[in-house]
């Protein structure tokens, strides 16, 4: 049955109506704009992601490749850790606890944390382990270090790509001493390996400063170097740097951390990171030992200071004791043996006790004055005690003054002997106790765990790195899509044309991969086929059938039965629409002729396998008749008029009266005349042709041009007196529309099944 014999309801613009019995009747749900927007949001996102799936895949794959490259070139970092415990201070000998005030107060954990990171500790470690000397092989940027790190041979690796100055694995160097001028500190020097263990050291200007040999100190121009080991191919270069003390300590600090494990636990955790597990273990162990040594030295230094003070006092006390005893003995020899009565002995004992206490207080006060000012409370307390002792001594001296002269003299001499002897003995005992305390000092910190280096590198695992790389790739692809969408302001929805230009969209032609394959085969030299003839069940062909039905009503009031098909710019599918629309019209018995009016780049003759010659150009020039330019096609009821020879003045040729006459004669002989014209904005040909046809349709292609371009094309045709009837929206991505859950996203399909 002829599909056009059944008159369906007029299809609304922008829908791809169906003809005949295949037209399904659907009710249109009423959906508010807010609900419609909500329905489109997620669906639009999914549709865009599917549209750009290859871009997402490419960027994500590139991110994964970069992640793998990072895993290959990244230098592994290892971590060593150890534990310290801060203990309460003790003198080391239980009987010497009375000396604790002389040894200082307890040190807080906060202070110990600062000491562990101080230049005093780290500086000793840097100097002992020579961490201020950096000697490394020079590797090829990016991949050289990774290749050298993975080399397992005993001898130096062969150079890659002939780059023999770089190290490729197996090279060894040990520099035990390196002295440079002050201005060359922190500067990179180059050591070039030579034959038989020889080498030369060059500065930044490639000037040789030292020429030496392994195992022999070399000097020159203020530089001095001792290389203990060098294993490399001749010509291999090494980078040497002598760091300043500050730079070397800062380098250790950047990789070093100390924290208390558990609040108020007194246990400190030390950690050090670095690429060489053996080196970081040695460095952290030396930090632990250096800290413990300085702690012991600090405690013993206080005892040493007190001991030195006592040793300066002992000789004077010894001499004073000897003089007092000699004076007492001489007086007794001169006066005869004299004995002190009981009362005098009691006074003597009290005086001796007061004198000894006063002397001890004075010594303790002198020691405290080395740390505190006279206004300090401890000094003030000492002064008060001395004042009370002086008052008691005056009381005893008053009692002594009432004794006979002989008894007074004997008492005074005996007192001097007793005081000096007892004071000397006590100080001597104290000095001995300090010597024992100093020898037994062990410090108030101890190492619980020595440095232990983890077998596996620290940081993110390879799987995590690849996961992060993939995630970053996805994020970058999302940003790229957003930028592309923001910069690419193009029409992808036919409703935008209707709402902003006020013109109907008569048909929406979906994307057709089959047509792309047909075009590709035709360009490869195979026989050309029309989509509407070879694959009539395609959705694109069905959309053109809907356009055929719509045009039947749109052209009812037209004075001519000719149709102009043009567009705003090239490559929109005008010829595809023209030839296939002509085919579907011919299939229902209409006599159709297609006129290729693109006298500049027309190619419809190729689609039908016809020669270009003898066409529009020859007819307008009066060189051929209408019958001579009409060419039959492989489609029944369809003829083709080719461009003919390409003229030098296409616009002037189209303005000739014979071209208008051509369209008139064709209109009288055929049911429908389809004119394929050049783009509107490129040339003025379409505006000229549009004045001689019954209706003008413009082809817009999804995602190819902004709405302003279409508006400008319509405006230019209107200025030329050509009224555009509507649009054909070509190459719509149907798969994308499936994910748009709003009403306007519905795409209807109705295929034939056997």
Max mean pLDDT among 280-284, 550-554, 681-685 falls in 280-284
pLDDT over threshold 90, residue 63: yes
- pLDDT bin (cut points 50, 70, 90) of residue 294 is confident
pLDDT at position 348 is 61
- pLDDT bin (cut points 50, 70, 90) of residue 402 is low
Window from 100-104, 132-136, 430-434, 684-688 with minimum mean pLDDT: 100-104
CA-only gyration radius of the chain, Å: 53
DSSP string for residues in 334-357: HH------HHHHHHHHHHHHHHHH
pLDDT over threshold 80, residue 118: yes
% of the chain exceeding 90 in pLDDT: 51
Angle (deg, nearest 10), helices 277-335 and 405-439: 160
Element (H, E) at 672: strand 672-676
Cα(655)–Cα(619) distance, integer angstroms: 13
- pLDDT bin (cut points 50, 70, 90) of residue 553 is confident
DSSP string for residues in 461-523: -HHHHHHHHHHHHHHHHHHHHHHHHHH------HHHHHHHH---EEEEEEP-HHHHHHHHHHH
Number of helices and strands (H, E) in the chain? Answer: 24, 20
pLDDT at position 410 is 65
Max mean pLDDT among 17-31, 103-117, 367-381, 602-616 falls in 602-616
- pLDDT bin (cut points 50, 70, 90) of residue 411 is low
Q: Considering only the C-alpha atoms of the chain, give the largest distance between any 2 of them, rounded to a whole number of Å.
A: 176
- pLDDT bin (cut points 50, 70, 90) of residue 319 is confident
Mean pLDDT of 117-143: 93
pLDDT at position 522 is 82
Q: Pick 345 or 460 by higher pLDDT.
A: 460
Say which residues have a Cβ less than 8 Å from residue 314's Cβ, sequence separation at least 6: 424, 427, 428, 431
pLDDT at position 15 is 35
Mean pLDDT of 664-671: 94
pLDDT at position 346 is 64
Say which residues have a Cβ less than 8 Å from residue 18's Cβ, sequence separation at least 6: 8, 24, 542, 545, 546, 748, 750
Q: Pick 200 or 748 by higher pLDDT.
A: 200
* Entry field: residues in the chain: 754
pLDDT at position 476 is 95
pLDDT over threshold 80, residue 38: no
pLDDT over threshold 90, residue 318: no
Query: What are the phi and psi torsion angles at 594 (to 5°)?
Result: -110, 125
- Predicted TM-score of the model (pTM): 0.59
- pLDDT bin (cut points 50, 70, 90) of residue 412 is low
Cα(473)–Cα(494) distance, integer angstroms: 33
Max mean pLDDT among 49-58, 350-359, 445-454, 471-480 falls in 471-480
pLDDT at position 744 is 44
SS3 196: helix
pLDDT over threshold 60, residue 107: no
pLDDT over threshold 60, residue 434: yes
DSSP string for residues in 413-459: HHHHHHHHHHHHHHHHHHHHHHHHHHHT---SEEEEEEEEE-SSPPS
Mean pLDDT of 559-573: 92
pLDDT over threshold 80, residue 391: no
Mean pLDDT of the chain: 82
| Residues facing 345 on adjacent strands | none
pLDDT at position 2 is 39
Q: For the stretch 602-636, what's the b/e string if a residue is b when 16 or more beta carbons lie within 10 angstroms of its beta carbon?
A: bebbebbebebebbbbbbbeeebeeeebbbebebe
- pLDDT bin (cut points 50, 70, 90) of residue 339 is low
pLDDT at position 441 is 55
Cα(558)–Cα(692) distance, integer angstroms: 12
Q: For residue 41, what are the CA distances in angstroms to 48, 493, 734? A: 11, 15, 17
pLDDT at position 459 is 82
Question: What is the distance in angstroms between the CA of the first residue and the CA of the last residue of the chain?
Answer: 17
Window from 190-199, 208-217, 341-350, 452-461 with minimum mean pLDDT: 341-350
Query: Which residue has tokens 């004055």?
Result: 369
pLDDT over threshold 70, residue 251: yes
Q: Pick 305 or 709 by higher pLDDT.
A: 709
Q: pLDDT digits over 530-546, tens only?
A: 999 999 999 999 999 99
Mean pLDDT of 72-84: 92
Mean pLDDT of 423-448: 71
pLDDT at position 252 is 95
Mean pLDDT of 320-347: 65
SS3 178: strand
């Amino acid at each position: 049955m002829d599909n056009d014999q059944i008159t369906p309801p007029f299809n609304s613009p922008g829908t791809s109506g169906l003809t005949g019995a295949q037209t399904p009747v659907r009710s249109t749900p009423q959906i508010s704009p807010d609900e419609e927007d909500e329905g489109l949001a997620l669906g639009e996102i999914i549709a865009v992601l599917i549209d750009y799936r290859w871009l997402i895949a490419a960027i994500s794959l590139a991110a994964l490749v970069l992640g793998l490259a990072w895993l290959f070139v990244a230098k592994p970092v290892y971590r060593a850790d150890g534990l310290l415990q801060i203990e309460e201070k003790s003198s080391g000998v239980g009987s010497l606890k009375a000396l604790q005030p002389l040894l200082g107060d307890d040190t807080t954990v906060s202070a110990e944390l600062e000491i562990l990171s101080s230049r005093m500790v780290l500086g000793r470690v840097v100097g002992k382990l020579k961490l201020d000397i950096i000697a490394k092989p020079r590797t090829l940027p990016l991949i050289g270090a990774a290749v050298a790190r993975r080399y397992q041979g005993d001898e130096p690796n062969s150079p890659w790509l002939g780059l023999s100055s770089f190290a490729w694995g197996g090279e060894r160097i040990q520099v035990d001493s390196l002295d440079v001028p002050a201005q060359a500190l922190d500067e990179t020097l180059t050591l070039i390996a030579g034959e038989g263990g020889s080498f030369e050291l060059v500065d930044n200007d490639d000037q040789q400063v030292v020429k030496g040999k392994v195992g022999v100190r070399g000097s020159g121009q203020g530089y001095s170097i001792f290389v203990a080991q060098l294993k490399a191919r001749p010509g291999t270069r090494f980078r040497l740097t002598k760091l300043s003390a500050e730079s070397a300590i800062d380098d250790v600090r950047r990789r070093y951390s100390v924290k208390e494990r558990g609040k108020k636990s007194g246990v400190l955790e030390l950690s050090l990171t670095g690429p060489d597990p053996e080196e970081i273990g040695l460095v952290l162990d030396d930090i632990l030992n250096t800290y413990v040594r300085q702690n012991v030295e600090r405690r013993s230094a206080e005892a040493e200071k007190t001991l030195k003070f006592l040793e300066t006092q002992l000789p004077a006390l010894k001499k004073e004791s000897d003089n007092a005893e000699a004076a007492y003995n001489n007086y007794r020899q001169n006066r005869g043996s004299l004995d002190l009565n009981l009362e005098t002995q009691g006074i003597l004992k009290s005086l001796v006790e007061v004198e000894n206490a006063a002397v001890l207080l004075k010594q303790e006060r002198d020691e405290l004055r080395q740390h505190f000012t006279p206004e300090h409370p401890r000094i003030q307390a000492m002064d008060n005690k001395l004042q009370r002792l002086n008052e008691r001594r005056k009381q005893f001296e008053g009692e002594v003054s009432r004794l006979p002269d002989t008894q007074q003299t004997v008492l005074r001499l005996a007192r001097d002997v007793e005081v000096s002897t007892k004071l000397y003995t006590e100080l001597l005992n104290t000095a001995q106790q300090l010597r024992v305390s100093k020898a037994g000092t062990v410090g108030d910190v101890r190492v619980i765990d020595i440095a232990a280096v983890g077998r596996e590198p620290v940081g993110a695992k390879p799987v995590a790195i690849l996961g992060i790389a993939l995630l970053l790739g996805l994020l970058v692809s999302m940003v790229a899509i957003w930028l592309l969408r923001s910069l690419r302001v193009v029409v992808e929805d036919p409703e935008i044309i209707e709402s902003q230009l006020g013109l109907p969209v008569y048909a929406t032609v979906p994307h057709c991969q089959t047509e792309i394959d047909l075009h590709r085969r035709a360009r490869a030299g195979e026989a050309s086929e029309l989509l509407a003839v070879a694959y009539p069940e395609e959705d694109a062909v069905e959309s053109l059938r809907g356009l055929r039905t719509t045009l039947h009503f749109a052209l009812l009031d037209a004075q001519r039965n000719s149709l102009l098909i043009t567009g705003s710019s090239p490559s929109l599918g005008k010829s595809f629409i023209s030839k296939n629309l002509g085919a579907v019209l011919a299939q229902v018995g209409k006599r159709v002729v297609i006129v290729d009016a693109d006298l500049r780049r027309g190619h419809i003759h190729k689609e039908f396998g016809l020669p270009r010659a003898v066409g529009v150009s020859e007819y307008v020039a009066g060189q051929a008749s209408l019958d001579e330019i009409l060419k039959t096609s492989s489609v029944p009821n369809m003829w083709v008029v080719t461009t003919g020879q390409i003229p030098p003045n296409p616009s002037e040729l189209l303005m000739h009266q014979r071209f208008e006459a051509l369209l008139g004669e064709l209109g009288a002989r055929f049911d429908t005349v389809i004119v394929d014209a050049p783009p509107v904005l490129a040339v003025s040909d379409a505006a000229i042709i549009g004045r001689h046809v019954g209706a003008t349709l413009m082809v817009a292609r999804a995602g190819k041009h902004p709405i302003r371009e279409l508006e400008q094309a319509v405006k230019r045709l209107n200025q030329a007196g050509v009224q555009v009837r509507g649009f054909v929206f070509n190459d719509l991505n149907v798969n994308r529309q499936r994910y748009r859950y709003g009403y306007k996203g519905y795409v209807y399909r109705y295929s034939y099944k056997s």
